C-alpha cells in the first residue's frame, strides 16, 4: 500500500526544497504566502503528519513514558495505569507498558528493553521477587543514565527518586481503630510475608492501633499467608488456612485483611462456620476493588485512590522531564496519598 507521505516527497512534487516545505508547514515568516498556501494545501490533501520517530531522534525526547508493573489483571494496578494514561494523554505523552509478573529478571529485561531510548522516563512498582532479592542495580543504572524514575506503591527506600505511596500504615491503623471502636475484642490480622513492603506496613499499622489502645497483640491471631501461593489455583489452600485461624480462635469478632481477597474469604469462612457478618464478626479489607463493592454483605474497605496515584506519578514524572534544563533540581519528593475508610456492610 501507499506509505505515509514525507517532507521529501512533498518537496519533490512541488519543486521546492525540503526546508521550504518544513517551514511552510510551520507557518514560518520566511516563506511567502503563495508558497505557504500551496504547500499547506498539498499537505492537507495528502494528509501529511510529521513522523514521530524522526522527531524523537531529532529532539532526543520520545514523549513516551514507560510503566512497569507486576501484573495488569489486577484492580489496583489497572487503575493506576488508567490514571497515568489520563494525565499522560492530556500532556501529549504516550504510555508503554511492561509486565514483570512479579519476576526480578523480567523486570530487569523489561527495563533494559525500554531504557535504550524508547522512553523518557519510568513509572514502576517493583516485583515481589525484587523485594525479596533486594537487588536494585537496574534502578541505579537507569537513573545514572539520566532517566528519571517514579516509584509507586511498592517502593524501595534505598533508591533516591520520586515516589508515590499509599499511607499503608495509617490506613491500616484507622481500620483497626474502627474495629476497636466498634467493640471488637479479638481482632485477627490476615497479612502477607514481611518482605512485601506494603504488607509489612499494614501489619505495623495493625500493631500500632493495638498499642495505642493498650491492647497486647496475640501472635496466634496473626495469619501470615505465604504469597507464593497462586491465588488463582490454590484458592482452597488459602481458604483452609483462614478456616483454621477461625477454628482455633473462636473468640474472633473482628478481622482486618491486607487485601480484599483475604477479607472476602474471611467473610465466606465466617459465614460457613455459622457466624453472621457484621453481627458476630466484623471485617475490613485493604484495597477497594470490585470484589469489595459487590460482595454480600458489601465489604468495608480502605480505599487507596489508585487512579489518583497514577495521575500523581505521571505528573511528577512529566514535571521532571519538562524541567530537565534546570537539572540542578535533584530534589526528590515522596507523595503520600491518604487512604479513606469506606464503610459498607461488613462493619457495624
Partner DNA sequence: TTTTAACACGAAAACGTTTTCGTGACTTCC
Partner DNA sequence: GGAAGTCACGAAAACGTTTTCGTGTTAAAA
**Helix or strand run (H / E) with residue 109:** helix 104-115
Residue list 307-336, contact with a copy of itself (CB under 8 A):
327
Cell numbers representing residue 141 in the block:
543504572
Interacting span for a copy of itself (CB under 8 A) from 23-31, 138-146, 149-157, 339-347: 138-146
Closest to a copy of itself by CB, 56 vs 204, is 56
Closest CA relative to residue 163, chosen from 337, 341, 333: 333
**Helix or strand run (H / E) with residue 303:** strand 300-303
Interacting span for a copy of itself (CB under 8 A) from 9-17, 97-105, 220-228, 278-286: 97-105
Closest to a copy of itself by CB, 81 vs 302, is 81
Judged by beta carbon distances under 5 to 8 A according to partner kind, the member of DNA, a copy of itself, none in contact with residue 141 is a copy of itself
Judged by CB under 7 A, the residue of 16, 159, 222, 341 near DNA is 16
Contact 291, 261 (CB under 8 A): yes
35 binds DNA (CB under 7 A): yes
8 binds DNA (CB under 7 A): yes
Contacts of 314 (CB under 8 A, 6+ apart): 65, 83, 84, 86, 87, 88, 91, 93, 123
Judged by beta carbon distances under 5 to 8 A according to partner kind, the member of DNA, a copy of itself, none in contact with residue 18 is DNA
Q: Give the HSE-up count for residue 306: Cα atoms under 13 Å, Cβ half-sphere.
A: 17
Judged by CB under 7 A, the residue of 37, 51, 160, 323 near DNA is 51
Q: Please state the closest distance from residue 334 (CB atom) to a copy of itself, in A.
A: 21
DSSP class of residue 248?
T
Judged by CB under 7 A, the residue of 1, 27, 47, 60 near DNA is 60
58 binds DNA (CB under 7 A): yes
Q: Please state the closest distance from residue 130 (CB atom) to a copy of itself, in A.
A: 18
Judged by CB under 7 A, the residue of 32, 37, 183, 248 near DNA is 32
Contacts of 317 (CB under 8 A, 6+ apart): 65, 121, 122, 123, 148, 150, 162
Closest to DNA by CB, 51 vs 89, is 51
Q: How many angstroms separate the Cα of 263 from the Cα of each of 52, 282, 301?
A: 47, 10, 9
Contact 339, 166 (CB under 8 A): yes
Judged by CB under 8 A, the residue of 37, 118, 240, 333 near a copy of itself is 118
What would you measure as the largest C-alpha separation in the chain, in angstroms?
Answer: 88
How many Å apart are CA 39 and CA 282, to the nearest integer?
Answer: 71
Sign of the CA dihedral with 27 first, then 28, 31, and 33 last: positive
Closest to DNA by CB, 64 vs 103, is 64
Query: How many chain residues touch a copy of itself (CB under 8 A)?
Result: 59
**Helix or strand run (H / E) with residue 340:** strand 340-342
How many Å apart are CA 32 and CA 88, to the nearest integer?
Answer: 37
Closest to DNA by CB, 46 vs 136, is 46
The SS3 of residue 232 is coil
Site string for a copy of itself, 273-292 (x = CB under 8 A): -----------------xx-
Exposed/middle/buried for 83, CB within 10 Å: 0-12, 13-18, 19+?
buried
Q: Which residues bind a copy of itself (CB under 8 A)?
A: 1-4, 47, 49-54, 56-57, 62, 64, 71-75, 78-79, 81-82, 85-86, 89, 94-99, 110, 112-118, 141, 143-146, 235, 261, 264-265, 268, 271, 290-291, 293-296, 327
Q: Which residues bind DNA (CB under 7 A)?
A: 3-4, 6-8, 15-20, 22-23, 25-26, 30-35, 48-51, 54-55, 57-58, 60
Amino acid at each position: 500500500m501507499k506509505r505515509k507521505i514525507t517532507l521529501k516527497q512533498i518537496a519533490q512534487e512541488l519543486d521546492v526544497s525540503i526546508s521550504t516545505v518544513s517551514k511552510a508547514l510551520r507557518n514560518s515568516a520566511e516563506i511567502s504566502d503563495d508558497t505557504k498556501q500551496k504547500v499547506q494545501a498539498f499537505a492537507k490533501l495528502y494528509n501529511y503528519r510529521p513522523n514521530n520517530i524522526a522527531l524523537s531522534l531529532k529532539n532526543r525526547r520520545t514523549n513516551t513514558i514507560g510503566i512497569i508493573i507486576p501484573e495488569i489483571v489486577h484492580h489496583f494496578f489497572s487503575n493506576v495505569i488508567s490514571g497515568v494514561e489520563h494525565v499522560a494523554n492530556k500532556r501529549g505523552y504516550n504510555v508503554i507498558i511492561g509486565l514483570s509478573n512479579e519476576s526480578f529478571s523480567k523486570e530487569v529485561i523489561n527495563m533494559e528493553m525500554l531504557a535504550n531510548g524508547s522512553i523518557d522516563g519510568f513509572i514502576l512498582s517493583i516485583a515481589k521477587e525484587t523485594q525479596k532479592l533486594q537487588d536494585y542495580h537496574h534502578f541505579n543504572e537507569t537513573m545514572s543514565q539520566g532517566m528519571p524514575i517514579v516509584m509507586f506503591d511498592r517502593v524501595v527506600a534505598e533508591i533516591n527518586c520520586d515516589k508515590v505511596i499509599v499511607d499503608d500504615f495509617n490506613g491500616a491503623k484507622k481500620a483497626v481503630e474502627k474495629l476497636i471502636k466498634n467493640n471488637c475484642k479479638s481482632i485477627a490480622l490476615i497479612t502477607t510475608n514481611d518482605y512485601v513492603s506494603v504488607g509489612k506496613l499494614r501489619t505495623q499499622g495493625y500493631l500500632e492501633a493495638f498499642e495505642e489502645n493498650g491492647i497486647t497483640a496475640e501472635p496466634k491471631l496473626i495469619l501470615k499467608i505465604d504469597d507464593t501461593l497462586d491465588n488463582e489455583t490454590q484458592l482452597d489452600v488459602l481458604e483452609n488456612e483462614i478456616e483454621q485461624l477461625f477454628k482455633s480462635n473462636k473468640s474472633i469478632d473482628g478481622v482486618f485483611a491486607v487485601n480484599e481477597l483475604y477479607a472476602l474469604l474471611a467473610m465466606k469462612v465466617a459465614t460457613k462456620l455459622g457466624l453472621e457478618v457484621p453481627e458476630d464478626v466484623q471485617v475490613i479489607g485493604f484495597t477497594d476493588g470490585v470484589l469489595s463493592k459487590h460482595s454480600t454483605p458489601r465489604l468495608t474497605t480502605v480505599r487507596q485512590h489508585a487512579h489518583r496515584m497514577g495521575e500523581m506519578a505521571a505528573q511528577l514524572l512529566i514535571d521532571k522531564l519538562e524541567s530537565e534544563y534546570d537539572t540542578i533540581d535533584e530534589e526528590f519528593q515522596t507523595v503520600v496519598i491518604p487512604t479513606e475508610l469506606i464503610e459498607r456492610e461488613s462493619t457495624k
